[in-house]
Structure 1
Amino acid sequence: MTEYEAFAIELARAAARVTLPFFRSDLGYEDKGGAAGFDPVTEADKQAEAAIRRLIAERYPDHGVIGEEYGEDRPEAEQVWVLDPIDGTRAFISGLPLWTTLIALRQAGQPTVGVIAQPYLDEIFLGGPTGARLIRGDTETPLAVRACPRLNQAVISTTDPDIFDVAERAAWTKLRAAARLARLGCDAYAYAMVAAGRMDMVAETSLKPWDWSALAPVIAAAGGQVVNWGGGAPDDRGQILAVGDAGLIDQALPLLRPAAL
Structure 2
Amino acid sequence: MKEFWASVLDFAKEITNHVGSQLLPDFRQVQASQKADGSLVTKADHWADETLRRAIASRFPSHGILSEEGEHRFPDTEWCWIIDPLDGTTNFTRGIPIWGISLGLLYHGTPVFGYVHFPPIGQSFHGFWAGESGLPDIIPGAFMNEFSIHSSPDELSSNHFFNLCSRSTSLLQQPFPCKIRMLGVASYNFITVATGAVLGGMEATPKIWDIAGAWVIVKAAGAVWVSLESDPIFPLKAGQDYGGRSFPTLIVSRAELVDVFKSYIQQN
Give deviations 1:102-140, integer Å, cap 9, x for gaps: 1101111111111221011221111114411112xxxx2
CA contact (8 A) 2:156 2:178 kept: no
1:143-164 Cα deviation digits (max 9, x unpaired): 111113337564101121xx24
* Distance in 2, Cα, partners of 1:8 & 1:51: 13
Query: Number of residues paired by the alignment?
Result: 243
Q: C-alpha distance in 1, partners of 2:92/2:209? A: 17
Aligned-partner Cα distance in 1 for 2:22–2:75: 25
Structural RMSD (CA): 2.3
Map residues 104-119 of structure 1 onto 2, 5 A cutoff.
104-119=104-119
Contact 1:116/1:214 (8 A) holds in 2:
yes
TM-score by length of 2: 0.82
Q: Alpha carbons of 1:205 and 1:178: their partners in 2 closer, same or farther (altered >3 Å)? A: same
The aligned residue for residue 211 of structure 2 is: 212
- Structure in which a larger fraction of residues adopt strand: 1
SS of alignment partner, residue 25 of structure 2: coil
Distance 1:245 1:231, change over 3 A: farther
Letter in 2 for 1:218: I
Q: Which amino acid aligns with 2:195?
A: A
CA contact (8 A) 2:162 2:179 kept: yes
Aligned to 1:179: 177
CA contact (8 A) 1:156 1:183 kept: yes
Q: Distance in 1 between matches of 2:22 and 2:259?
A: 42
Match of 2:9 among 5, 12, 20: 5
Contact preservation (8 Å) 2:194, 2:223 = yes
Show CA shifts across 1:3-62 (max 9, x none): 32332222322321331121133x322222x3x34x321111111111111111111111
Greater CA drift, 102-111 or 188-197: 188-197
**Identity level (%):** 26
Question: Does the CA contact (< 8 Å) of 2:99 and 2:120 recur in 1?
Answer: no
Q: Tell me, in whole angstroms, the C-alpha distance in 1 between the residues paired with 2:9 and 2:162.
A: 28
Contact 2:228-2:248 at 8 Å conserved across structures: yes
Q: Counterpart amino acid of 1:259? A: Q
Aligned partners of 2:156 and 2:199 also within 8 Å: no
CA contact (8 A) 1:151 1:251 kept: no
1:30 is aligned to: 33
Return the alpha-carbon distance in structure 1 between the equivalents of residues 192 and 262 of structure 2.
21
1:221 & 1:159 partners in 2: Cα distance? 23
Unaligned runs of 5+ in 2: 129-137, 235-244
Q: Does 1:15 align with 2:19?
A: yes
The TM-score with structure 1 as length reference comes to 0.84
Q: How does 1:223-238 map to 2 (within 5 A)?
A: 223-230=222-229, 233-234=232-233, 237-238=246-247
Cα distance, 1:173 vs. partner?
3.2
Residues in 2 aligned to 1:186 and 1:147: alpha-carbon distance in whole angstroms: 25
What SS is found at the alignment partner of 1:101? strand
The DSSP-based 3-state class of the residue aligned with 2:55 is helix
Q: In structure 2, do the counterparts of structure 1 residues 151 and 205 end up closer, same or farther at CA, with 3 Å as the change threshold?
A: farther
Tell me which moved more, 89-98 or 230-239: 230-239
User: In the alignment, which residue of structure 1 is the partner of 2:240?
Assistant: none
- Structure 1: runs of 5+ lacking an equivalent: none
Question: Counterparts of 2:267 and 2:74 in 1: how far apart (Å)?
Answer: 33
